[in-house]
Each structure stands twice: as structure tokens, then as C-alpha cells.
Amino acid sequence: MQLTENKAIPKICLTPLRAKPKQSLKVLPLVVVGVGPHAKRIYFHFLKQRGLVPAVVVELESKRQLVDEYLEGFLPRPTLFLVADSLKDRQILSKRNASELAQLLKARKVRQAIISTEPKAHMAYATFFIEQGIDVLMDKPISAPVNSAYSLESANQTSKDFKRLENSCRQHPGVNFVVQAQRRFHPGYLFIRDYLSRTIDRLGVPITYIDIYHCDGTWNMPTEFFHRENHPYRYGYGKLLHSGYHFIDLFCWLVLLNRQLENKAPDRAEIFHTATFPEDLQAQLGEREYGRLFGKQVVSQLSAGFEKGVGSYGEVDSSSVIQLKRGSKIITTGSLNLLQSGFSRRAWPTLPEDTYKGNGRVRHERVNIQVGPLLNIQVHSYQSSEIRDTSNPIASSEVGGLEHFEIYIFRNSALIGGLPFQKFDLTSQQGKSLSRKYLGHNEGARETVMINFLKRKETGSGLASHKLTNELISAYYSCLAKGRSGKPPLASTPFKLDGL
């Protein structure tokens, strides 16, 4: 059987309509909840580039001055709705806030919402908007139950929260609910998924192995664990509900292709999952090591981080093996190693103003996919400097460059045809069409999701398509909760690919 060569990687088309200085922006019937680093870098950035501004912005009382200053750059300014900090983590909005916000949204004729808050508030706003008949684009994760890594009840709450939102959407069928999962729209991963889909269909062989490795280079100083609110750990959850969500979702999105083979589609997942916690990091890098790196005077300021307990904090690194079975037979084996404590470019003990992309974070990402003995596809994507560092001498497309992303394809060419090996360099293929203001492949994919959402186009990331992802996250956290209580960190859960 011959496997025909795949088409070239599709080029990204980004031609933003940039607003002229002091030009009045077009007001969208849109509310944005949360004006943190991510929302500014992604949603507000792309909206303003296209000459757009949301009608309403929702934030906490404590952020009033910061948000007021930021919104000065928008003309006209969105209406600012403030919520008391004491109400920020409620599972439902207070009656007063719900009533006043509903009146404001009706007055401004708002029909769509972007939720970009700290995820403990996701459920409150998501259910409220659904009940108001307002479309929702929400950042991952769906929810963030406190103490998920320590309590089986909290671990299972993720799955329950998902079902609650799913039921709410069924009761309001006109609402379009989308989850921001940009790797589903990354041109490299779209290319790979299309190639895999056609290969599986032609050969009748499923994906048999997926190995995913990701390290985002987040290095927290010892005392920072205690006050961090952006990507926190002190609430008993961590990496899995930070960037980890994207890679569990990537695993599910890819392995979903196995449903093309009815007799080889898995129906159950068995999981072994462990993690590294902040207390483990203190054993790896203690006061002596910090003293050598930053000096004794600095270490004296960080010493409280070693004295105060972090035994109830969330995971920093996650390591798992997952086997997808059909009956008693293993169809696909997965290995997911998701790190935040690995290689970083941070070389300073105090936090900079930009703690999101300007604190030494660099991304290392590797994916290895096997289709039995016939095909191997690999992704290699490695940065050597942070996004803000424009002085990086390494070309963007090369190893260590800001947008390095290579795809290797190895084929058993004598049986399936094609070349034994091909390499695709995604960034080079994008060529000079990338604007100097282009933020990157993942950020471009986020823009695609946002624009399709605003136009009410099919996004391929509707709420229902995230069911498996959230069931796995619940199972992963149940493993951690069991492990922290001295039990084997194992879980078994249904893994049905139908209906998505």
C-alpha cells in the first residue's frame, strides 16, 4: 500500500487591521472578564490590532487603578465593572453582582464573553453567562478545585464541574461555548493530525504510542510560592491546571483519531501518575545552593521560604504513564512528562514587572508519536531565551530560536511508500510573511480561536470536545491524592471516543 505525500504545512494568515494612533476603536458587544498578563498579551493585544474594543470589562476592586491606567490606551474606554475581592472565588456570583452585571450587559447589548480570570472563578462566570444566553470563550482549565492534589473529592470535582457546565449548555442550546486550546489550531499540530488521520485510515493501524514532554522554565524563589496568584500553587493544585492542561488535551485530541478504527478504539484508561512538589524543590536546591547562586545577603531574604511549610501546595512537575485499552488489550501507551522546575533563564531573585513572559521562562517541547512499526512522527521545539529577548542571536527557526518548531517524519518506506525521512521546519516555511509584531505560533493560534469565536464560526474546541481531557485531569489528580495519602498513585477511568 502506497501512502501519498502530504501537502505542505499550511501557512498562517495574519493580516491584522491596526488602529491608527488616537483612532476611535469599534466597540464590540463583548465583555472581557480579567485583565491579567495573559488577557493583555493575547485578547486585548489582538483586539486593538484589529481596531476593536470590548464594551465591558470585569475586574476585582483591588485592580481598579491598574486597570484604569491600562484602559486609558483604548478609545472609547470599556465600561468597567468591579467585583469585591472577598467574592472572587465563589462558585456562583453574588445575587447583587449577578443582577447589576446582567443589567449592564443588557444595556450594552453584550452577546459574547471572554473569561480570562484565575481559574477558581471560571465556574461562576461561565454559568452566569450561559444563563444569560451569552456565548463564552474561556481560558483553560474548566475549573480549579482547591486541594485537588490532596483530596479525592476535590480531584473528582473537575469532572463534576465539567458535567455541570455541559448540562447548563444543554438547557441553553443557543449558547456557543468554546475552550481556548491553541495547540488544536497550531499549524504544525494541524499538519501532524491531518497526516496521522489519513495514515490510520489507509493502513488500519492505530496510534500505538505518544510521548509528550514539556518544560516551561518557571522558577519560583522559595518565598514566591506563598503569595503567587497568577498560576498559583498554594491552593493545592499546580502544573496540571497551568500549562499542563494543554498537553493532556493534545494527547486526547491526537488519540481521538483511533476512533476511525471501530475495532481498535479504546474504551478505558489506566493511569500511573506522580508529581514533584515545592517541598521536593527545597530538597533539590537548599539555602546553601541559593547562597552560591545569588549571595548570602539575598538568601537571608529568601530564608522564610525554607522555614514556612509548603506541604499542602500543588504540584510543580507531573509525570505519568497512561495505557488506553479496548477490553483487556492495550491499544495506545502514553507518557506525559510536564515540568515547571526545569531549565530556565531566570538569573535574578526579585520579581520583574512582567512575571508572565518576562521572568526567565523558556519553552522546551517534544512529542513522539508511533503508528506501530510503520510510522514515527516527532516534534522538536526548543527556546534558549525568553520571548521578550529580541537580542537573541539565534535565528528564529533554528534550535534555541524563539519560534523553533521542527517536525521529523520517519517511514517504513518499503511498506507504506514515501521517503524514509523528511524534516519540516515550520518557521522557515512561514517565511518573511510573519509580521515583526507576530507573537508566535501558539499566540497566532489563540488569535484564530478568538476571531472564529467572535464570528461564531466552528472552532473545533467546543465544550463537549473537552470531556476526555477533563475526565483525565480528574483521574490524574485522584492519583496524586492517593499518593499523598500513602496509597498507590493509580486510577482507572472510562475513555470512550464516541460522541465527540
> Does one domain contain both 123 and 241?
no
| Residue 467 belongs to some domain of the structure | yes
> Does one domain contain both 248 and 155?
no
> Does one domain contain both 227 and 309?
yes
> Does one domain contain both 149 and 193?
no
User: Is the pLDDT assigned to residue 95 strictly greater than 80?
Assistant: yes
> Does one domain contain both 314 and 425?
yes
> Does one domain contain both 79 and 143?
yes
Residues 269-313: tens digit of each pLDDT: 999 999 999 999 989 998 899 999 999 888 887 877 777 788 899
| Residue 170 belongs to some domain of the structure | yes
Under the banding of pLDDT at 50, 70 and 90, the label for residue 5 is: very low
In angstroms, the Cα distances linking 339 to 214, 314, 322, 354 are: 6, 13, 17, 21
User: Is the pLDDT assigned to residue 101 strictly greater than 60?
Assistant: yes
Give the domain CATH number at 397.
Answer: 3.30.360.10
Region 400-412: mean pLDDT is: 94
Region 266-270: mean pLDDT is: 96
> Does one domain contain both 122 and 264?
no
Reported residue count of the chain is 500
In which domain, by residue range, is 31 found? 26-180
Using the 3D structure, point to which of 180, 198, 232 is the last residue of a domain.
Answer: 180
Region 317-339: mean pLDDT is: 97
The residues that bridge with 114 in the sheet, in sequence order, are: 32, 137
Burial class from Cβ neighbours inside 10 Å (0-12, 13-18, 19+) for residue 306 reads: middle
Task: Judge whether 469 and 248 are in contact, CB under 8 Å.
Answer: yes
Alpha helices per DSSP H over 16-116: 37-39, 45-49, 64-71, 95-107
> Does one domain contain both 413 and 330?
yes
Residues 242-260: tens digit of each pLDDT: 999 999 999 999 999 999 9
| Residue 98 belongs to some domain of the structure | yes
| Residue 458 belongs to some domain of the structure | no
What integer pLDDT is reported at residue 128 of this predicted model? Answer: 98
Give the domain CATH number at 38.
Answer: 3.40.50.720
> Does one domain contain both 135 and 267?
no
Instruction: Report which DSSP code applies to 437.
Output: T
User: Is the pLDDT assigned to residue 485 strictly greater than 70?
Assistant: yes
481: Cβ contacts below 8 Å, ≥ 6 apart: 148, 149, 150, 151, 152, 154, 155
User: Is the pLDDT assigned to residue 339 strictly greater than 60?
Assistant: yes
| Residue 9 belongs to some domain of the structure | no
Residues 186-208: tens digit of each pLDDT: 999 999 999 999 999 999 999 99
How far, in Å, CA of 25 to CA of 50, rounded? 9
| Residue 419 belongs to some domain of the structure | yes
What integer pLDDT is reported at residue 3 of this predicted model? Answer: 34
> Does one domain contain both 217 and 357?
yes
Domains held by the chain: number: 2
- Please name the amino acid found at residue 175: V
pTM for the whole thing? Answer: 0.92
Under the banding of pLDDT at 50, 70 and 90, the label for residue 6 is: very low
Residues 125-172: tens digit of each pLDDT: 999 999 999 999 999 999 999 999 999 999 999 999 999 999 999 999
How far, in Å, CA of 54 to CA of 79, rounded? 9
Using the 3D structure, point to which of 122, 154, 180 is the last residue of a domain.
Answer: 180
| Residue 451 belongs to some domain of the structure | no
How far, in Å, CA of 304 to CA of 236, rounded? 20
Task: Judge whether 404 and 396 are in contact, CB under 8 Å.
Answer: yes
What integer pLDDT is reported at residue 386 of this predicted model? Answer: 82
> Does one domain contain both 172 and 199?
no
What integer pLDDT is reported at residue 431 of this predicted model? Answer: 53
| Residue 449 belongs to some domain of the structure | no
Under the banding of pLDDT at 50, 70 and 90, the label for residue 23 is: confident
User: Is the pLDDT assigned to residue 2 strictly greater than 90?
Assistant: no
Task: Judge whether 76 and 26 are in contact, CB under 8 Å.
Answer: no
Give the residue, 213 or 228, on which the prediction is more confident. Answer: 213
**CA end-to-end span of the chain, whole Å?**
30
Using the 3D structure, point to which of 180, 196, 214 is the last residue of a domain.
Answer: 180
Give the residue, 498 or 224, on which the prediction is more confident. Answer: 224
> Does one domain contain both 388 and 422?
yes
